[in-house]
Structure 1
Amino acid sequence: MPSASVIIPAHNEARVIGRLLTRLLAEAAPGEFDVVVVANGCDDDTAGVARGFGVRVVETPVPSKREALRLGDQAASSHPRVYVDADVELGTADLRALRDALADDGVAAHGTAPTTAPTAAPANTPAVAPNAPGLAQNAPEAAPEASVTAQDASGNVPARVATPLAAAPERALVLRDRPWPVRAYYAVWSRLPAVREGLFGRGVIAVSEQGNRRLMDLPPVMGDDLAASLAFAPGERRVVREARAVIHPPRTLGDLLRRRVRAVTVVAEIEQGPMSGQEARTGPRDLLAIARRAPWLLPHLAVFLTITLVARARARRAVRAGDYTTWLRDESSRD
């Protein structure tokens, strides 16, 4: 029996799904993982590319990530479940590290030894400081503006558990060839405490069987990764230092703004729903703390504030209309 199921919702991802599957399966033993790609509402060859890797493919005409996740769960055969966005990169060793983190005492099910080192990033993406033009460690790709206190679906904050119910990898953000305003934005964003500690904005979330049941009880929202992160208290979730997801951010300032508008809308939807009552916005205190610790980032803070204010202004129309379904997708990061 596979030691974990991997569910990949994919909407018109023919350009990038092969990149993910190549690294994900590079060192996997036959039958080690149950990989399910859910091609939803595609008018490209996403399904055909995925089938070329020998993974299972589920197709639906409905272009909905939530529906794709539901169908993937129905098709999956094993736990833990690892949900992976098609536009990130995750290696075999990273996947094993996430699986092992959800097993008792760090030992994977079925006798597989725990992984101790992440899969290396591609040779042309060196790891550097968050404000440098290469690959930034622990930087978010498009995480919502969150500074949150997690709770379960009943509104309670559970006690700490020895084995986490949910896990996610460290972030490695590819910033080379991005304009300075994009790099400046993420130099600030990557230093926000909630961004460093939350499971959102990583493109990958792994859950145990118990954790998966909790996710299934969540209300439908556009920001599925933020909602998933909020569903688990700090003691129930873990950022796995031995795993790393490579994230490809927007290539233009305009595309970054589109993502930020979506992020603001996500936060507004969550604040108005059953998970309301949690502080979900970056506050002045967070930014002042960054300025005190790293005064050389003052120009970057100015860029961050400008982008944030513009995104909030543009999101007001959608929030007033209650439009929480329009998905502002960034195509530039898929080139």
Structure 2
Amino acid sequence: MTSVVIPAHNEAPVLGRLLSGLLGDARPGEFDVVVVANGCTDETESVARAHGVRVLSTPVPSKREALRLGDREARGFPRLYVDADVTVSTAGVRALVARLGGPGTLLAAAPERDLALAGRPWAVRAYYAIWTRLPHVRTGLFGRGVIAVTEAGNDRIRALPPVMADDLAASLAFGEDERTVVAEARAGIQTPRTFADLLRRRVRAATSVSELERETGPGGPSARTSLGDLVRIAAREPWLLPAAAVFASVTVLARRRARRAVRAGDYTTWLRDESSRAPGS
């Protein structure tokens, strides 16, 4: 049995969309789905129960705690960790499971990203035009909202320190020969609908990367974007130079705004992008 753990904090507007796609063509008993409603004040639990999945509840509004609880109650492997605000189909889950079910050293897999960019401001679209071309973004498992692991892979990520950038830490925990991106699986991801929400996301990312680097120490794995990355993209595709300028500006501004949280050691304030959870997103 494949287990799917979904941490959900006030995700009533989007959780049904995920569960409908995930379970749409599933056979009875094929997936063991556990939704962990953490600190919810909306109808998240009711939405989950309406889809016939197991529901756990905790008053603690913490994704880390939700993942821990879900992991404890999940029954099978491969095991998927899925963000409530993305979409993935039954076929996509099966494709991930198939890649981890054969012989070899693969411990973790994630789907390709389908970014929703229609109707977004030019600056948001420009940012993602560069972000999706970065080497570590193209091959990493983070920023996809879905990670599937074998039992050995689960042991690996459970040994990681509790950090805000949990998907980035999980991605960096596996070598290139231990992880893969599965083209046959697609994750639908809502991008920010406003520039302000994009910046909020990037401030959170900058803060969480700093926390991860603090935990791993000097010389540890990192996924920071370098100036060289931008130069190489612009050299290959010169028409992206304006987009590279937007990306660089957002990155610098986000890192500056993250400094206060980093100096204070505040790695718990979650700057959530509510625009991507609006009805119709």
TM-score by length of 1: 0.82
- In the TM superposition, residue 274 of structure 1 has moved relative to its aligned partner by 2.7
- Distance, in Å, in 2 between the alignment partners of 1:13 and 1:279 is 30
Q: Matched residue of 2:85: which SS? A: coil
Contact 1:271–1:280 (CA under 8 A) maintained in structure 2 = no
**SS at 1:273 equivalent:** helix
Instruction: Provide the rounded CA distance (Å) in 2 between the counterparts of 1:203 and 1:5.
Output: 16
Structure-1 separation of matches of 2:203 and 2:215? 19
Q: How does 1:157-176 map to 2 (within 5 A)?
A: 162-176=104-118
C-alpha contact (below 8 Å) 2:32/2:74 kept by paired residues: yes
**How many Å separate the matches in 1 of 2:22 and 2:89?**
5
Do structure 1's residue 195 and structure 2's residue 137 form an aligned pair?
A: yes
Query: 1:165·1:237 contact (CA, 8 Å) conserved in 2?
Result: yes
Unaligned runs of 5+ in 1: 106-161
1:251 aligns with 2:197: no
Q: In structure 1, give the amino acid aligned to 2:254.
A: A
| Kept in 1: contact 2:136–2:223 (CA 8 A) | no
Picking from 44, 68, 71, the partner of 2:69 is 71
Question: What are the Cα deviations for residues 235-291 of structure 1, in whole angstroms up to 9, with x where unaligned?
Answer: 000101110101001100000000000000111111111354234311111001001
The amino acid across from 1:99 in the alignment is V
Match of 2:166 among 220, 224, 229: 224
Return the letter of the residue paired with 2:185: A
- Structure 2 unmatched runs, 5+: none
1:33 counterpart residue number: 31
Structure 1 residue ranges, 4+ long, deviating more than 3 angstroms after superposition: none
Contact 1:261/1:312 (<8 A) preserved: yes
Tell me the distance in 2 between the aligned counterparts of 1:250 and 1:209.
Answer: 34
Aligned pairs for 1:45-84 (under 5 A) are 45-84=43-82
Which amino acid counterpart does residue 303 of structure 1 have in structure 2? Answer: V
Secondary structure, counterpart of 2:271 in structure 1: coil
- For 2:246 and 2:172, the matched residues in 1 are separated by 28
- Preserved CA contact (<8 Å) 1:25 1:92: yes
**2:90 and 2:51 mapped to 1: Cα distance?**
14
Size of the aligned set, in residue pairs, is 277
Alignment partner of 1:310 is 2:253: yes
Other-structure match for 1:146: none
Determine if the alignment matches structure 1 residue 179 to structure 2 residue 177: no
RMSD: 0.9
Is the CA contact (8 Å cut-off) linking 1:104 and 1:163 kept in structure 2? Answer: no
Q: Does 1:328 align with 2:271?
A: yes
Cα distance in structure 2, aligned partners of 1:95 and 1:24: 8
Deviates more, 1:267-276 or 1:191-200: 267-276
Aligned equivalent of 1:153: none
Q: 1:24 and 1:310, CA in 2 relative to 1: closer, same or farther beyond 3 A? A: same
Among 92, 95, 98, the residue aligned to 1:94: 92
Kept in 1: contact 2:38–2:60 (CA 8 A): yes
> What SS does the corresponding residue of 1:319 show, helix, strand or coil?
helix
Match of 2:148 in 1: 206
CA distance in structure 1 between the aligned counterparts of 2:65 and 2:238, rounded to whole angstroms: 45
Q: Give the equivalent residue in structure 1 for 2:226.
A: 283
* TM-superposition CA deviations, 1:199-234 (whole Å, max 9, x none): 000000000000001111111101000000011011
Cα deviations by residue, 1:282-317 (Å, 9 ceiling, x for unpaired): 111100100110000011111111111110110010
Instruction: Report if the CA contact (8 A) 2:172-2:222 is conserved.
Output: no
Q: Which moved more, 1:182-191 or 1:274-283?
A: 274-283
TM-score by length of 2: 0.97
